[in-house]
Every structure is written in C-alpha cells, then in structure tokens.
Amino acid sequence: MLSAKEKPSRRSQDRTRAVLPVRIRGKNASGVLFEALAHTLDLTPTGARLGAIHHELTALDTLVVLFRKRRIEFKVMWTRLLDKHGEYQVGLQMIAQESDPWGLSVPHSGSRFITTAAAV
C-alpha cells in the first residue's frame, strides 16, 4: 500500500503559485453569458487554477481569461464549490498552446511564487 508521499502524481507539469488579477468571460452552467473579475491561484505552461469564481461552470465549456493585454481561451476541466456562498475554484486547460501565455516566463519545473498588482 502506498503512503501519501509515495503516491504517483497525476500532474504532467509542475504548478507555479501565482496570484494574478484576471477578467473572465464565458457561459455559466445555465447557459447565461457573464463577465467577472477573478484571480489565478497557480499556473502551468498549459493551464491554470482560478479562484473567486461566483458562477457555476460546466466541465469542457470554454472560458476566456483576460490578463493585461492578453486573451487566452481555456477549457474548464473541473470545478469545486468552496462554500455555501457560491464561490468556486476551477481548473483550466489552454485550448491553443502558446509559448508564454502569461508573459511571466512560467517555468516548466521547480516551484516559484509570483504575485503582481497589475491592472486587469
């Protein structure tokens, strides 16, 4: 039996903790278009985890993330309801691969912490 430390990782890439302000656009689970502010929690070269989402989303739907002057399209991979007030975290997979979608040179391995107060 494997202990928690010995379990193989399901992740194909390391995450970089990064709290960045973003604007998101998409359709909620009811099919209604929305635009809202949120923030990243961590990044990979091909995905992201977002927090402060107050719309229920559906897996495999498309979500557009706007950061600085960048527009990045993602596929929703999973959602997690955090509390009874309707706040969600979502896991995203980039649809079109870009070399540096965030403009931050996110490393392919190792751990770093990135934070910025840049305007959305």
Is residue 111 domain-resident?
no
Find tokens 């649809």 and name the residue: 95
pTM strictly above 0.85: no
Is residue 106 domain-resident?
no
Residue 9 has a pLDDT of 58
Could you give the residue ranges of the DSSP H alpha helices within the chain?
A: none
Distances (CA, A) of 118 to 6, 22, 100: 39, 10, 17
Is residue 43 domain-resident?
yes
Long-range contacts of 69-73 (CB under 8 A, 24+ apart): 70/101, 70/102, 70/103, 72/98, 72/101
- The predicted-structure confidence for 5-41, as pLDDT tens digits, reads as follows 555 556 567 888 999 999 999 999 999 999 999 999 9
Range(s) of the domain holding residue 42: 16-97
Helices and strands of the chain, counted as H and E runs: 0, 8
Is residue 32 domain-resident?
yes
Is residue 73 domain-resident?
yes
